Structure 1
Amino acid sequence: MTTTSNVGSSTTSAVNQALQNGSASAADLQNQFLTMLVTQMNNQDPLNPLDNSQLTSQLAQISTVSGLQTMNTTMTQLLQQTAASRAMDSANLIGKTVMVPGSAVSVSGGVPGQIGVDIPSTADSVTVQVLDASGNVVRTIDMKGQTAGVKDVAWDGKNDQGNAVADGDYSFKVAATANGKDVKPVALVYGKVQAISGDSSGVLVDLGNGQTASVDDVRRIS
């Protein structure tokens, strides 16, 4: 005869395995538990009947799994509703100019695109370097000391010799220090919002030309 303890161990083992690998739903676990419980009762040793504490423990595990899966389903639904609501609210950004993290800037007709920098804490030195397509520094802008916050960078489209740079694509990088330590500034660019979209990472603003940014990264709206 199969003993209660052996069958009980099998039940607990099966439940624990399902809990660890997440391969079964609450309904699957309940069906499996009831099937094995009936087997336990049919094969229990009259001299060693079913242990109530063991049964209670197994029922508690099933209840916990069922409750957690119900909560997960509810949370998923709430997150989906929140994401949809945020996307609708963000639709108001379409047509607006925003400032987002980025390091690309173009010059057209001798006029450069607007750029900026987000300084997380007061810095005693802030420097911006503009680079051409080959990575050569064409202009260094010393912004000196700056308080924390989002700042516009004034670049007139000229190089360090005072000559206008050629139209085309450029990039820039920023550096800021306080007492000789990097304060981790963030380079920013401007873009006009063309559309709002979303993916697994959240709501995105589409700035055209394949450029997107998370709506959470928008530093300024104008």
Structure 2
Amino acid sequence: MAVEDVSTSFISSLQNPTPTATNSGTALGKDAFLQLLVTQMKNQNPLDPQDNTAFVAQLAQFSSLESMQNLTSTVDSIATSYKSSQALQASSLVGRSVIVEAGSTVVDTTKGMTGSVVVPSSSTATTVKIYDTSMNLVDTVDLGTQPAGTTSFTWDGTNSDGEVAAAGTYSFVASGSIDGKGTSLATYLPATVNSVTTSTNGGEMTLNLAGGSSIALSKVQTIGI
């Protein structure tokens, strides 16, 4: 094989290292590259020497490749640090209350609960119906006429007979009359964070809420105490 071919093959191996070289830790570095250049100069045909610009081009190519590898290493390090920082921040949410878009949540009925309803357009006859786990209607919160926007509501934890309901998971179904049509409305409810799940592929972290539901960290609207 000609010396020029050896040099070209060497550059190619740097750009596309084989799994064996990468895994064994024997990837060629700067010293080996310079030794290759010296060998190439010593063994070139004196009657047809290689152009100096070819050596300069090889050096420039190696320098560019080395810079790209260093940049990749730096970016990987930053990504790892960011992921660790994100995990630490997310873990601090365990045991705290967050406000998320949800249809159900665990309620301590002795304390009641405050949530909110998103009204896309002016609504009349706006209500929030509360159901138990068997989908039995427990109580109805009448919000009347509401303008477009976010409207808060409070459930005192009692049923329609005024008796304190049992603590547990309850569903909240909001609706309103918009332009004369019954429309389902989104509800935002408080929930307690039980644990945090980190992604193995660099994706977003997930908050595991009381009651068994999960939600992405970016979906949290408000963080409470």
Same fold (TM over 0.5): yes
In structure 2, relative to structure 1, the CA distance for the partners of 1:188 and 1:27 (3 Å cut) is farther
Distance 1:53 1:134 in 2: 81
TM-score, normalised by the number of residues in structure 1: 0.55
Match of 1:191 in 2: 191
Partner SS, residue 16 of structure 2: helix
In structure 2, relative to structure 1, the CA distance for the partners of 1:66 and 1:193 (3 Å cut) is same
Match of 2:69 in 1: 69
> Which whole-Å deviations, capped at 9, do the CAs of 1:173-206 have from their partners, x for residues lacking one?
7899x99xxxxx96533212345x4523355544
Considering only CA atoms, is the larger Rg found in Structure 1 or Structure 2?
Answer: 2
Q: Is the 8 A contact 1:100 1:219 kept in 2?
A: yes
Alpha carbon RMSD of aligned pairs, Å?
Answer: 5.2
TM-score, normalised by the number of residues in structure 2: 0.55
Match of 1:44 in 2: 44
- Aligned residues between the structures: 205
Distance 1:50 1:3 in 2: 12
Percent of pairs with identical residues: 27
In structure 2, relative to structure 1, the CA distance for the partners of 1:211 and 1:62 (3 Å cut) is farther
Distance 1:70 1:76 in 2: 10
In structure 2, relative to structure 1, the CA distance for the partners of 1:96 and 1:44 (3 Å cut) is same
Matched letter for residue 59 of structure 1: L
Cα deviation, residue 84, structure 1: 3.8
Q: Is the 8 A contact 1:116 1:188 kept in 2?
A: yes
> Which whole-Å deviations, capped at 9, do the CAs of 1:56-111 have from their partners, x for residues lacking one?
333233323333333333333334434444444555544432112433346787x9
Distance 2:175 2:44 in 1: 74
Any stretches of 5+ residues in structure 1 without a counterpart? 180-184
Match of 1:14 in 2: 13
Any stretches of 5+ residues in structure 2 without a counterpart? 180-184
Distance 1:27 1:58 in 2: 21
